[in-house]
Amino acid sequence: MTRTPWRQRWRAIAVQGGLLIGLTTLGGCGGGTGNPLDNPPQVNNTAGATGQSLSYAYFQRCVFPIFLQPLQINLNGVVSTNTCAGAGCHNNATGTGGAFRVIPTAQAVDVTKPSNTPDVIRASDMYKNFYSAQGEVVIGSPLQSRLVDKPLLLGVLHGGGLVFASEQDPNVKLFEYWISHPTPSGQDEFSTANYSMFTPADPVAGACNTN
């Protein structure tokens, strides 16, 4: 008869014992359901801190048009012209540019019109663009935001190549101003306090501030 070496027998016993202890421990997290691998019946999550948002009005008037502009792009020394919302870039239907998506046909929504409530605006294509762009941003920190870093190739790869030669580009200034001026704490993206980002303070007719 072939006998199992004592080291192998001891290892098997130790593994079985560890598994038993592990299952017993899991049983204490299972909420008494009888299944040690089950989830507890209720999970209580603590409330998270409320973060700030960026101005929807400024995005719509000053930032979104940049995505539709024909821009000169330098990709590995080859210069061409395209738009951020173009096919193969960030177009929502045909783009290959990662999570950031643009619906180029989105129409502006008059934020001063009473019937355009937050719920109405949030259901629009323009708001989808706003939401996607804000996802590329570290609020209050332009140079930590992919919306700025990627087209400038600031320490990050951009499949679309170099879009803006420097931070002095007028389009970059608009990005940076938007990111640097979040809504006041406790107010949403439609806060009228952000109308001061225009001169005069009119989100429909005012000029886009950059400083």
Q: What is the pLDDT of residues 62-75, one digit of tens each?
A: 999 999 999 999 99
Asked whether residue 12 is assigned to any structural domain, the reply reads no
Q: What angle do CA 200, 172, 104 make, to 5 degrees?
A: 85
Asked whether residue 64 is assigned to any structural domain, the reply reads yes
- Return the H-helix or E-strand segment holding 81: strand 78-82
Beta bridge partners of 74: 79, 162
Asked whether residue 166 is assigned to any structural domain, the reply reads yes
Q: pLDDT value at position 41?
A: 52
Least confident of 19-33, 166-180, 184-198: 19-33
Nearest to 131 by CA among 162, 100, 94, 87: 100
Asked whether residue 51 is assigned to any structural domain, the reply reads no
Residue numbers of the domain that contains 198:
56-208
49-66 average pLDDT score: 90
Q: pLDDT value at position 96?
A: 87
Residue with tokens 């177009």: 91
Q: Tell me how far CA of residue 164 lies from CA of 64, 68, 137, 149, 158, in angstroms.
A: 16, 15, 17, 10, 12
Q: pLDDT value at position 42?
A: 52
Q: pLDDT value at position 97?
A: 84
Asked whether residue 194 is assigned to any structural domain, the reply reads yes
Residue 51 binned pLDDT confidence (cut-offs 50, 70, 90):
confident
Instruction: Answer whether residue 11 shows pLDDT above 90.
Output: no
Asked whether residue 108 is assigned to any structural domain, the reply reads yes
How many domains does one find in the chain?
Answer: 1
Asked whether residue 4 is assigned to any structural domain, the reply reads no
Beta bridge partners of 27: none
Asked whether residue 151 is assigned to any structural domain, the reply reads yes
Q: pLDDT value at position 88?
A: 87
